[in-house]
Structure 1
Amino acid sequence: MTPHEIHLIRHSFNLVQPHAADTAQQFYDNLFDADPGLRALFRTDIRHQGERLMTMLAAAIRVLDDPYTLHAALRLLGRRHVGYGVQPAHYATVGAALIKTLRDGLGDAFTAEVHDAWAAMYGVVSRTMMEAAHEGAGVQTAMP
């Protein structure tokens, strides 16, 4: 990711972070609207899960300019998500729900450039997590 993309992500996240609970709820509403079957993967209270989501996003965004730390954390997360029942196809649904949530939450501040920065970041997140999940399962697969 470029320094400019990192700046755009950090700036736009700072705009939604004060509304973290609402942002997280909107994300899960978007996610479950897109794939109602995903609701079964969440065994904890969705508000608590939303807090964890926003904390994880904030932590990842803090280390976007430190790829080693970011990738190490994402690899652990990817291996852990296998145990939750997350499948590779779920990552696209999550990415679409995230982008929709940001677009709705940021309004006019969600420019094409901000969209592309978030899409790039989510690409790194999803690829790294899926690679780790496949390696943890003993499956070697090339990621797109």
Structure 2
Amino acid sequence: MPAAAIQASETAAKRRTRRAKAVPVSDTQLSAEQKRLIRLSFLRVEPALDLVAQLFFLKLFRLDPSLRKKFSGPVEIQARKFAAGAKLAMISLGHEDGLAPTLKLLGARHRQLGIRARHYRTMSRALVWTLERSLDKSFDRDTKDAWNTLLAYFTKVMAG
């Protein structure tokens, strides 16, 4: 192999390595402004989080009735679990390692229940719909885009 080809190959490998290091697994690709919009919108729904979570599950089960049997227990219990997870997600937005380790564990548990990537996409649709209804005009395009970016990251990590 000619020296120029070897050098070009090594340079390309170094670029790939630098790129891989530049984007850690926990990086959600959210800007500071997107994180601010997510936190602000969450603070607006937090006082009614149990009700918002119940609305989310009702919409989720309407979008995909097969998911009801994958979540054991009454909607109210699932809503409390969801609310706790949402609070953890908001706290994690400010931490370097983020939620990736927790999401991976939750994703493994969900895979045991038969939840796949398509289900996460349905969950994302249900949550965005719920936020649109709960926040009305304060759920603007930028806020919606921020949530969609965060939920796409959740889907990627949890689906494995």
Give the TM-score, by structure 1 length. Answer: 0.87
| 1:124 and 2:139 correspond | no
After superposition, the CA RMSD in angstroms is 1.0
Match of 1:134 in 2: none
Q: Secondary structure at the match of 1:68?
A: coil
Alignment of 1:103 onto 2:132: yes
Structure 2 unaligned regions, length at least 5: 1-29
Rounded Cα–Cα distance in structure 2 between residues aligned with 1:87 and 1:69 = 22
Structure 1: stretches of 5+ with no match in the other structure: 132-144
* Paired residues, number: 131
CA distance in 2, matches of 1:47, 1:67: 32
Give the 3 Å change call, closer, same or farther, for CA 116–56 of structure 1 in structure 2: same
Deviation at 1:67, TM superposition (A): 4.5
Rounded to whole Å, the distance in 2 between the matches of 1:112 and 1:88 is 25
Q: Residues 6 and 64 of structure 1 are in contact (CA less than 8 Å); yes or no, is this contact kept in structure 2?
A: yes
Q: 1:73 aligns with which of 102, 107, 127?
A: 102
Please tell me the residue identity of whatever aligns with 1:21.
D
- Equivalent residue number for residue 142 of structure 1: none
What SS does the corresponding residue of 2:73 show, helix, strand or coil?
coil
Q: Percent identity?
A: 31
Question: Which protein shows a greater Rg?
Answer: 2
Runs of 4 or more, structure 1, over 4 Å off, are none
